[in-house]
């Protein structure tokens, strides 16, 4: 306010009305991006139906992830969460939120909720619906969990890392649709994905293993938003949670390594098949017989190689 008082916010039932309002805003923005950007590019590329659907999905997510990364980075920098990592667990529970943190979470929930009716509006194929529903549900559970359990500061950093990796992945898909031989951005995404996984695991160990157990208030007080600190004071529970986190990150890395090995195997098989096809074509070209005349023609008369005309046979009289 004007006199310097800091206004902060808490979550409540009125958030549902706000989220519903921004769901409609997200649907409108989705239609604007589709109409004025993606449809125009699709008409130039002449993609198949399968690639057309994937192109629209990646195009929408590139716009969303880029906006979210810039917005989230601005929030964590201005709030000082990166400059002071101890603020991620100090004074837990973080019940009262600055306006920009609360607004960011409400907009994130609204976007992923708007993705549900978009499955119908975009006429997504039936075989693609389970995968997209699973992705939407995971984002909603994690974002709502961080918001309701007062882990908003940790959630912001994790969302920043996740959205950064997802942005490069979908950007690489868009480039691949325009030029199938251009896979440089996939290599960039692979590096960013590994780095973000390492940062995510380190952050979990730092906050869960060392931060939350040192919180002063270790009592269970749900009415005050304190849900976890007394649990993390128990070393057995803390080590169990860290073990689950490590196993989950290991499974993610295993799927990533399996995907990369399959992609490289397909790439090398394609390259070797191209080399074999080129070698076979060259061999066929060399083995093709060339028709040569024993002489050459001059004024309609066939002459030998030395330029003399061949002898004419004398016909014997019967």
Rounded to whole angstroms, how far apart are CA atoms 201 and 246?
A: 7
Q: 219 CB contacts (<8 Å, ≥6 apart)?
A: 226, 229, 230
What per-residue confidence (pLDDT) applies to 47? Answer: 80
For the stretch 154-191, pLDDT in tens is 999 999 999 999 999 999 999 888 877 777 888 899 99
What per-residue confidence (pLDDT) applies to 228? Answer: 62
Nearest one of 105, 170, 89 to 139, comparing CA atoms: 105
Structure tokens belonging to residue 28: 């409108």
The ranges of the chain with pLDDT < 50 are: 305, 317-318
Q: 148 CB contacts (<8 Å, ≥6 apart)?
A: 11
Nearest one of 101, 86, 109, 211 to 156, comparing CA atoms: 101
Rounded to whole angstroms, how far apart are CA atoms 284 and 169?
A: 42
3-state secondary structure the chain: CCCCCCCCECCCCHHHHHHHHHHHHHHHHHHHHHHHHHHHHHHHHCCCHHHHHHHHHHHHHHHHHHHHHHHHHHHHHHCCCCCCHHHHCCCCCCCCECHHHHHHHHHHHHHHHHHHHHHHHCCCCHHHHHHHHHHHHHHHHHHHHHHHCCCHHHHHHHHHHHHHHHHHHHHHHHHHHHCCCCCHHHHHHHHHHHHHHHHHHHHHHHHHHHHHHHCCCCCCEHHHCECCHHHHCCHHHHHHHHHHHHHHHHHHHHHHHHHHHHHHHHHHHHHHHHHHHHHHHHHHHHHCCCCCCCCEEECCEEECCCCCCCCCCCCCCC
Rounded to whole angstroms, how far apart are CA atoms 317 and 274?
A: 67
**pTM of the full predicted structure?**
0.80
What per-residue confidence (pLDDT) applies to 301? Answer: 53
What per-residue confidence (pLDDT) applies to 309? Answer: 52
Q: 190 CB contacts (<8 Å, ≥6 apart)?
A: 256, 260
What per-residue confidence (pLDDT) applies to 313? Answer: 52
What per-residue confidence (pLDDT) applies to 318? Answer: 45
């Amino acid at each position: 306010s004007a006199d310097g008082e800091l206004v902060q916010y808490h979550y409540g039932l009125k958030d549902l009305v706000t989220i519903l309002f921004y769901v409609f805003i997200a649907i409108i923005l989705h239609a604007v991006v589709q109409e004025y950007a993606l449809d125009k590019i699709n008409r130039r590329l002449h993609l198949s139906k399968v690639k057309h659907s994937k192109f629209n999905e990646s195009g929408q997510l590139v716009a969303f992830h880029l906006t979210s990364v810039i917005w989230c980075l601005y929030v964590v920098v201005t709030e000082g969460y990166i400059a002071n990592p101890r603020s991620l667990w100090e004074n837990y529970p973080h019940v009262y939120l600055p306006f920009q943190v609360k607004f960011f979470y409400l907009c994130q929930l609204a976007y992923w909720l708007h993705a549900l009716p978009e499955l119908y509006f975009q006429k997504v194929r039936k075989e693609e619906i389970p995968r997209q529903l699973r992705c939407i549900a995971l984002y909603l559970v994690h974002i709502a969990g961080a918001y309701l359990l007062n882990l908003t500061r940790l959630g912001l950093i994790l969302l920043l890392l996740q959205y950064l990796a997802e942005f490069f992945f979908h950007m690489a898909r868009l480039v691949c649709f325009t030029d199938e031989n251009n896979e440089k951005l996939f290599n960039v995404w692979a590096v960013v994905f590994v780095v973000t996984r390492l940062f995510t695991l380190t952050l979990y160990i730092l906050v869960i293993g060392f931060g939350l157990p040192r919180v002063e208030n270790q009592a269970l007080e749900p009415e005050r938003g304190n849900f976890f600190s007394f649990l993390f004071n128990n070393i057995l529970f803390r080590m169990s949670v860290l073990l689950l986190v490590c196993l989950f990150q290991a499974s993610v890395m295993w799927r990533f390594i399996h995907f990369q090995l399959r992609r490289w195997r397909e790439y090398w098989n394609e390259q070797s098949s191209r080399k074999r096809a080129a070698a076979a074509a060259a061999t066929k070209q060399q083995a093709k017989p060339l028709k040569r005349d024993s002489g050459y023609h001059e004024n309609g008369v066939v002459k030998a190689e030395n330029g003399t005309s061949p002898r004419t046979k004398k016909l014997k009289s019967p």
